[in-house]
Amino acid sequence: MVAAIHLAALAVLLTTEYGPFAITLSVLAWVFVNCFLLVVLQRPGVSAALALAFIVILIALSHFKFGILQLTLTFLDFLIIDRDTFSFLLSVFPRLQMQLIAAGLVAGPLLWLIWRFDPFRVRRRVALTGVAASAALIAAMSVASPEQAWEPFQGVNHISSLARSGVVAVSRLASTGWIEADPPADRPLRLGSEAYAARPAMLPPVTACDPAAKRPHIILLLDESSFDVTSAPGIKVPAGYTDFFKSIDGKRRTMIAESTGGPTWYTEFNVLTGLSARSFGDLKFYVTRITAGRVTRGLPQALQNCGYRTVSLYPTYGDFLSARAFQKGTGVDRFIDMAEMGVNEDMQPDTFYYDQALKAFAREQLSRSPVFMFVYLTANHFPWTDVYRPDLTPAGWTPPGNTAEVDEYIRRQTMTANDYRAFTERLKRDYPDEQFLVLRFGDHQPAISQKMLEPGIDRKSLAKRLMATDPRYFSTYYAIDGINYSPANLSSALETLDAAYIPLVLQEAAGIPLDPTFAEQKSIMLRCRGAFYACKKGAEARRFNRMLIDAGMIKGL
């Protein structure tokens, strides 16, 4: 029976792992789990059965995660596991709880029978030797052949990737902690309780914000997977296509995102906190989970200090990557997720989210306070191999003549431009006496941009481009508009700007005095000509992170 269980486990690993290296690493992980259980239980039968169940569950969870995030399971999924993780699972699979209970009722008696009739025993000293040896070999192999950034996105090698990620995570936490920051300074940043009166000498002069002053309502629009495709060679676009990317002053501006082809939450973190996801190194994929409740500095908090009501319209469940907890920690008063909007699919036309924004604005305006709204648009989300909502195709639409996938991408961008135009017209019509400042941006390039920017590039060269954060693959756009309002100050709206500076641009365009942290960040922006983390190889970001830690705005990291 014991041999049959081990053979079954070997069969599972051989069908989910590819290549000698991954297979060897996964077998070592299997040995490690068995020996660890033997240290506790000393019975090889029940240890093997538990290890097999554990491996199968891990692979199933990894497949599930890959289906949602296009990323396999990693060690950090267990290191920072929280209530939101289980809540999201139950939201997606409402029957999961009963299935787990049923599985437990079946597994319990089987494990008891194996325990009762297993005649073998293993000494703890032998088991500990197996734990130490397998762990040492896993670490040695992981160090000798470090995991490449693209490997977890392949959807294979679930157990070996999980084992290797544990070595990476432990090494990272031991060397730099969760976030990169300078050692404690001699003169830490300390903020006063009233209008930042206790300003240290290291910061520039700051004007206190008057919450009673008339301010424009602010709308921050996240334009999913959007960038100006004319930056790619040979792409045909409809007449007037580039007009959408122009600001109120007629200029086209470039935003440098910290992700390409996927993780929206990197940019969500950038524009809400004004910080860099790259400061978390290999842990950045979990940046919103790591920082939930631990980072309180950000755009919503700064706007709250100036009397704003802050609202976020989130297109999926709020417990996804701890989005609700993260955003509320940065100062979002009201977080409205997919469930509260009354839908069960997270990809809706832009008109749906604009309607939700108008409803939320009508409610919030009753307080007579200025309103800040962070609105996500999802119509341009992948895949582009299918025609999304053909009934919403703009009148007179004719494919420009690219590949079918690229033409579908441009069709959806055209839908977005038309829906945005209709939204601004409604604001003008329904609120003629109100002022609105709108900043919209592309959160990252779509995955198909990699085919468009350098057609025919080989996979190895592309990987080098992405690892080196080649701006061609990370450039999107940002644009500033006013409705019954002319932006107060666009001096921070540089032609090319890192995403972490978007909160700074928005505040100055709204005429809001910068608090000491944003005033300091503006000086970094000017010194670094729009770069943040990349400036001085991360030195400016590390120094700034230390200042926020000393100010108590980054805690427990």
pLDDT over 60 (residue 204): no
Q: What is the DSSP string of 277-311?
A: GGGGGGGGGGHHHHHTTTB--SHHHHHHTTT-EEE
Question: Taking CA 314 as the corner, what is the angle to CA 309 and CA 319, rounded to the nearest 5 degrees?
Answer: 110
Same domain, residue pair 325 and 433 = yes
Local confidence band at 356 (pLDDT 50, 70, 90 cut-offs): very high
- Assess contact for 392 and 415: CB atoms under 8 A: yes
Same domain, residue pair 169 and 276 = no
Within 10 angstroms of residue 169's Cβ, the number of other Cβ atoms is 19
Residue type, 499: A
* Domain final position from 135, 153, 176: 176
Local confidence band at 85 (pLDDT 50, 70, 90 cut-offs): low
Local confidence band at 192 (pLDDT 50, 70, 90 cut-offs): very low
Look at 335 and 45; give whichever has higher pLDDT. Answer: 335
The 10s digit of each residue's pLDDT in 437-483 is: 999 999 999 989 988 998 888 878 888 888 889 999 999 999 999 99
Same domain, residue pair 171 and 257 = no
pLDDT of residue 176: 79
Most confident of 196-200, 254-258, 450-454: 254-258
Same domain, residue pair 259 and 399 = yes
Local confidence band at 78 (pLDDT 50, 70, 90 cut-offs): confident
* CA atoms within a 13 Å half-sphere pointing along the CA-CB vector of 94: 1
Q: Is 332 helix (H, G, I), strand (E, B) or coil?
A: coil
Q: Pull the structure tokens for residue 97.
A: 């709880």
Question: Taking CA 494 as the corner, what is the angle to CA 493 and CA 500, rounded to the nearest 5 degrees?
Answer: 75
- Whether 225 maps to a domain, the answer reads no
Q: Pull the structure tokens for residue 148.
A: 């490449």
* Domain final position from 124, 146, 176: 176
Residues 365, 366, 370, 376, CA torsion sign: negative
Same domain, residue pair 353 and 245 = yes
pLDDT of residue 74: 78
Same domain, residue pair 321 and 435 = yes
E runs forming strands in 159-215? none
Local confidence band at 511 (pLDDT 50, 70, 90 cut-offs): very high
pLDDT over 50 (residue 200): no
Q: How far apart are CA 158 and CA 147, in angstroms?
A: 13
Same domain, residue pair 240 and 171 = no
Q: What is the CATH number of the domain that holds 433?
A: 3.40.720.10
Look at 204 and 146; give whichever has higher pLDDT. Answer: 146
Instruction: Report the share of the chain in percent with pLDDT over 70.
Output: 89
* Domain final position from 176, 199, 221: 176
Same domain, residue pair 44 and 120 = yes
Mean pLDDT of 8-12: 90
- Whether 182 maps to a domain, the answer reads no
Instruction: Report the share of the chain in percent with pLDDT over 90.
Output: 58
Q: How many domains does the chain have?
A: 2
Mean pLDDT of 233-257: 96
Same domain, residue pair 155 and 272 = no
Of 287, 180, 157, 253, which is closest to residue 533 (Cα–Cα)? 180
Local confidence band at 312 (pLDDT 50, 70, 90 cut-offs): very high
Place of tokens 């329904």: 430
516-526 b/e with 16+ CB inside 10 Å = b? bbbbbbbebbe
pLDDT over 80 (residue 423): yes
Same domain, residue pair 242 and 390 = yes
Look at 206 and 478; give whichever has higher pLDDT. Answer: 478
Look at 44-48, 63-67, 83-87, 346-350 and tell me which has the smallest mean pLDDT.
83-87
Looking at every residue in the chain, the average pLDDT score rounds to 87
pLDDT of residue 284: 87
Q: 3-class secondary structure for 476-541?
A: CCEEEEEECCCCCCCCCCCCEEEHHHHHHHHHHHCCCCCCHHHHHHHHHHHHHCCCCCCHHHHHHH
For the chain, percent helix, then strand, then coil, each to nearest 5? 55, 10, 40
Residue type, 15: T
Same domain, residue pair 113 and 247 = no
Look at 185 and 279; give whichever has higher pLDDT. Answer: 279
The 10s digit of each residue's pLDDT in 225-239 is: 999 999 999 999 999
pLDDT of residue 452: 92
219-253 b/e with 16+ CB inside 10 Å = b? bbbbbbbbbbbebbeebebbeebeebbebbeeebb
pLDDT of residue 88: 60
* CA atoms within a 13 Å half-sphere pointing along the CA-CB vector of 207: 7
Q: What is the DSSP string of 387-428?
A: ---GGGPPTT----SS-HHHHHHHHHHHHHHHHHHHHHHHHH
Q: At what angle do helices 20-41 and 158-176 cross, to 10 degrees?
A: 80
Q: How far apart are CA 319 and CA 323, in angstroms?
A: 6
The 10s digit of each residue's pLDDT in 278-305 is: 999 878 888 998 999 999 999 999 999 9
* Segments forming the whole domain that contains residue 267: 236-514
pLDDT over 70 (residue 195): no
Same domain, residue pair 276 and 161 = no
